[in-house]
Chain A
Amino acid sequence: MLESWIELARGPLLRLALLAMAVGLLRQVLLQVWEISWAFHRAGDQVVPWRVALRRNLEWLLPWRYLQRKERRAYNFTSFLFHVGVIAVPLFLAGHVAIWNQELGLSWWTLPPAVADWLTAITVVAALGLLLGRMVNSASRVISKFQDWALPVLCILPFVTGFWVAHPLWSPFDAQVVYLVHLLSAELLLILVPFSKLVHMVLFWVSQTSSELGWRFPPGSGERVRVTLGKETEGI
């Protein structure tokens, strides 16, 4: 019984989750491109500071400067570690590459098992740290919404279960149950990507670029940004 569930989760469901993510992300990108081009079309000043926008994006992708900032240094550093793990482990774990190979016929460089284990552990700890940071800092706590709490927890799940799948002897639960939870939680996460704030994995350039271009939008837009952010009481 469990066996057939795992077969389902590993084959059709995985394919479906990846597909949902791809189509959903495509939708987000198209919407944003459309929206930005409209905004740009209506903007008073149509000069695009390409260089600034590019630098912003690069800085965000390789956050050297952010890490050197004084304020919330620990939080930024934890966040960096978390993102490294969250990207590297799913993509470069040997077992996963085997699946990509089987499903898509693609194969690439893999992490040595020991490195993967340590990265997994670091990711889990970093995620817990981020949650703690969010809880401790009052400013963060106030602007946090439900998904800000739920998503990190959901991120931890496939990593913990994945670790147990790799080391069944350390697992307190039945191996097949753990495997199924691993698959299902990862798939849920994939499906949620385009429909939650995780969408920043493809839309980061929008937030980074709009912060440069946004001020060129028509009069009154600043007011609307303020309302959107829920900061009606503060000055612009």
Chain B
Amino acid sequence: MTRRVQITKGILWFISGLAAAVTIVRFTRGLGTTTALSDTTPWGLWVGFDVMGGVALAAGGFVIGAIAHVFQRERYHHAVRPAILTALLGYAAVAVGLIYDLGLPWNIWHPLIFWNPHSPLFEVAWCVMTYLGILFLEFLPVFLERTRFQALYRTLLRLQLPLIILGISVSTLHQSSLGTLLLIMPFRLHPLWYTPHLPELFFVSAICLGLVMVIFESSVTAWLYEREPHTDMLAGLSRFAAGALAFYLAFRFFDLWHHGKLGLAFENTFEVRLFWFEIAISAVIPLVLFLIPRVRRSHTGVFIAAALGVMGFLLNRIDASGLAQVWATGADYFPEWTEFVVSFGIVSFFALIYLFIQEHFPVEKEIVDEEERWLQRQLFVLPRFDRGSQVWLGDATFASRRVYSALFVVALVVGLALTPWQPLVKASPVQRARGGEMLRVGYPLGTVMFPHGEHITRLGKEACGTCHHLHKPGDVGTPCSECHADLYLDTTIFDHVRHVAVLEGNASCAKCHPEGQPKVRATARKCSSCHEKDMMAANTVATRFESLAAPGLRRAAHGICIECHRREAANPEWKKPDLFRCATCHKTPVPHVQELRLLRAEGGETAPVAAGS
């Protein structure tokens, strides 16, 4: 185990710890608390990166299987086992990612018994399950190679070729079906991405991503374990990748041209810039780099090209399942940090399993042998002393275990401290409205026009208390926004410091907190027991004033306006019209997404603005 491996593992454990914290919140509080998803953007990072990206990343398994076993290119045999391991763990990671993303994850097995062959996702689910089984059988020999189950080991080796061909066929299906998934949403997906040939395009790009991922991964493991990469193999794979990338580019642009959409690619919009950025880092730059013989033979060159390709094709999946749909929905979706933590945490967790299997099973023989020699050496090394914590760390394996677990625990606690426990709601501060004929209320301002003057004329000046149910000390007719300061969220209106100061210091505790009981909010006196005089008796909410927080303006206003108007309408003597209907107050047009888009494009307005204001 090299220093690099240890540091990498430390980082991976830390991220896994953060993810573990978010996991707890995700499964006890729901998707609303841990994601920025909404009804307008029901699929986010977890689908785009973990599922769409994950499946495509794991394509290396079937691509290398085809090259090495079906086309029998002997020199790529080195790459087969790591690629199959990546695929196996990649698909397992997809399954785990799905468990996070599904609203009812305990029903994840339902596609087994409830069938809908018309759904691309049903097809994907079946293929992924089948392929996980195939991959496991393909990889099982690695676990069995150094055990006494030699009969089973040899049988599985004989089955290798049929299994690989089966795996290739199943992969063809679900890699392309992930493209089919998006065929149903021509109205969401930008035309630069949407084409009836999405399935074929997804299949080709999966092959590209599979190849660059294998290159990326072998150069990373070589760097981690400080051994020479198989230069010949990498150069060969680079050549394959160049071919695949060229084909992908040709296919994609031919398709655009064929459907007469090439012109779209030269407008100046966010989507077009995104399109060119994606094309550049996924295909064009790696293709150019791979075409240069000197780059193909340089470890750094191959690594950079492959890394760009991996990021580019991941971006392609994220674009297709999200970013390229903003065009239609106009939605502000940016993943919460908790979403990133889970995505990276799953990757980290499976990377740790990958390294563990590499170090303990003959995936790449050099690594496991070196690891065994290293372990033998460790038996004769003195325990290490950590100056920071003043602790003896035991031998090196124990020491690293202590460090990793400490990192995990610290990350877990930090994560739990940072993760929100309440659903994410953006604050919608309420504008202050006071006096005047007509009050513009709500957010955006003017959602509701309240005829203040009309109410005064009709009810008389004495009737202010009907609505103004509580005044701030020293104030009369305190405006709603003073306490109901947010449209949706509760606002704390109790000021302990001020109470202590006004009630003459520490000796006054007993005025609110009864003797012999803990001095906490739960046991304190109700506000209304002192503030009777600040409250108006003649309104509908007076009796409810007991909590230390004021509800959001919407709830407060609906409560006071609708109840009052409903009471009046119900009284046959008053002969009041039924003014408790929504339309009585709500007259502002709702801006629709298409108009929002126009507004943004024209005036640079970032906040949604009602047309009425």
Q: Name A residues whose Cβ lies closer than 8 Å to a Cβ of B.
A: 1-3, 12, 16, 19-20, 23-24, 27, 30-31, 34-35, 95, 98-99, 102, 145-147, 168, 175, 194-196, 224, 227-228
Contact = CB atoms under 8 A, between A and B. Distances in A.
Nearest to A101: B518
A145 B401 CA distance: 24
Given A98-B518, A102-B520, A102-B522, A228 B405 contact: no
Contact of B389 (A23, A99, A195): A195
Contact of A99 (B394, B401, B405, B518): B518
Given A3-B497, A16-B417, A228 B518 contact: no
Interface string B396-416: 001001100110110011001
Contacts of B408: 27
Contact of B390 (A146, A224, A228): A146
Among A12, A30, A31, residue most surrounded by chain B Cβ atoms (within 10 Å): A31
B506 A168 contact: yes
A2 B495 CA distance: 12
Interface of B: 382-383, 389-390, 392, 394, 398, 401-402, 405-406, 408-409, 412-413, 416-417, 496-497, 506, 517-518, 520, 522
24 contacts: A1-B497, A3-B496, A3-B497, A16-B416, A16-B417, A19-B413, A20-B409, A23-B409, A24-B409, A27-B408, A27-B409, A35-B394, A95-B518, A98-B517, A98-B518, A98-B520, A102-B518, A102-B522, A146-B390, A168-B506, A195-B406, A196-B389, A228-B383, A228-B392
A102 B518 CA distance: 10
Contacts of B416: 16, 19
A120 B416 CA distance: 33
Nearest to B382: A227
A89 B401 CA distance: 35
Contacts of B401: 31, 34
Nearest to B516: A94
A175 to B, nearest CB: 6
A19 B410 CA distance: 11
Contacts of B520: 98, 102
Contacts of B394: 35
Contacts of A224: 382-383
A109 B413 CA distance: 31
A31 to B, nearest CB: 6
A195 B389 CA distance: 8
A96 B362 CA distance: 56
B492 to A, nearest CB: 10
Closest 6 interchain pairs by CB? A98-B518, A20-B413, A3-B496, A145-B390, A27-B409, A27-B405
Given A3-B496, A12-B417, A224-B383, 7 more contacts: A31-B401, A31-B402, A98-B517, A98-B518, A145-B390, A175-B506, A228-B383
A27 B17 CA distance: 13
Among B390, B406, B409, B520, residue most surrounded by chain A Cβ atoms (within 10 Å): B409
A224 B384 CA distance: 11
A2 B498 CA distance: 12
A3 B382 CA distance: 52
A16 B520 CA distance: 19
Contacts of B412: 23
Contacts of B518: 95, 98-99, 102
A19 B408 CA distance: 14
B522 A35 contact: no
Nearest to B20: A23
B224 to A, nearest CB: 25
B499 to A, nearest CB: 10
Query: Which secondary structure characterizes the binding site on chain A?
Result: helix
Contacts of A3: 496-497
Given A35-B394, A35-B398, A147-B390, A2 B522 contact: no
Nearest to A2: B497
Contacts of A16: 413, 416-417
A227 B383 contact: yes
Nearest to B401: A31
A145 B388 CA distance: 12
Given A224-B382, A227-B382, A31 B405 contact: yes
Among B383, B413, B506, residue most surrounded by chain A Cβ atoms (within 10 Å): B413
A97 B457 CA distance: 58
A98 B390 CA distance: 37
A146 B506 CA distance: 39
Nearest to B498: A3
Nearest to B521: A7
Contacts of B506: 168, 175
A23 B413 contact: yes
A197 B398 CA distance: 18
A35 B518 CA distance: 44
A2 B405 CA distance: 36
A30 B398 CA distance: 12
A2 B401 CA distance: 41
Contacts of B406: 27, 195
A99 B401 CA distance: 36
Contacts of B383: 224, 227-228
Contacts of B398: 35
Contacts of A30: 405
A147 to B, nearest CB: 6
B19 to A, nearest CB: 15
Nearest to A169: B506
A27 B520 CA distance: 34
Nearest to B394: A35
A19 B21 CA distance: 11
A147 B390 CA distance: 8
A101 B405 CA distance: 32
Contacts of A23: 409, 412-413
A28 B392 CA distance: 14
Contacts of A99: 518
A133 to B, nearest CB: 21
Nearest to A228: B392
A12 B506 CA distance: 25
A166 to B, nearest CB: 12
A35 B406 CA distance: 15
A27 B409 CA distance: 8
A99 B522 CA distance: 11
A136 B417 CA distance: 42
A147 B417 CA distance: 26
Nearest to A174: B506
Contacts of A196: 389
Contacts of A31: 401-402, 405
A95 B389 CA distance: 34
B504 to A, nearest CB: 14
A193 B85 CA distance: 40
A99 B394 CA distance: 40
B278 to A, nearest CB: 41
Nearest to A38: B398
Contacts of A228: 383, 392
Contacts of A147: 390
B20 to A, nearest CB: 10
Nearest to B390: A145
B338 to A, nearest CB: 17
B367 to A, nearest CB: 23
A168 B408 CA distance: 41
Contacts of B405: 27, 30-31
B549 to A, nearest CB: 13
Nearest to B495: A3
A31 B389 CA distance: 17
Contacts of A1: 497
